[in-house]
Amino acid sequence: MNPDVTPQRTPRSRSLNGSLSVGQHVDVYDPLTKNLVSILEGEDWKRVRTIVTPAFTSKRMRQMGSIIDDCSKSLIETCERSFKDGKPVECKGLFSTFTMDVIARAAFGTQIDSHNDPENAFLKEAKKTFMEPKILTILMA
């Protein structure tokens, strides 16, 4: 490896996937980001990974498949309604609401119909949370 091309690894500035990359970095001393699985190393990584892994067993992933399928049906109905009415489909918003429906059901056990109920309290709070600058930094990295 050429040391002039390879950035030096510092504890203060590492990319979210654990390797260095040009662009966005995360402050590993920030309480919000310092315990991300992709930031941790060694025993800390093992501890957090052990906590997170059960959420992604093959059984749970199969269960999420049925949730995704149900939410997909709502997405298709919304598209069909728009096509019948001759209205354009705004894809970013459509898939954002689809994603929110899946997350709400899979992670929180609550069914929201964000395609048809944009004023839903869960949806409003989630939008506020995800527009928080620190959260955006994590998601974009």
List CB contacts of 12: < 8 A, sequence separation 6 or more: 27, 28, 29
Is the whole model's pTM more than 0.75, yes or no?
no
Give the model's pLDDT for residue 44: 83
Q: Is 96 within a domain?
A: yes
Q: For the residues of 128-140, what is the DSSP string, one character each?
A: HHHTSHHHHHHHH
Q: Is 113 within a domain?
A: yes
Q: Could you give the angle at which helices 121-130 and 91-108 cross, rounded to 10 degrees? A: 100
Give the model's pLDDT for residue 86: 94
Number of domains in the chain: 1
Q: Is 41 within a domain?
A: no
Q: Residue 105: which domain range?
A: 64-140
pLDDT digits (tens, 9 = 90+) for 38-58: 777 788 888 888 888 887 788
Higher pLDDT, 64 or 7: 64
Q: Is 114 within a domain?
A: yes
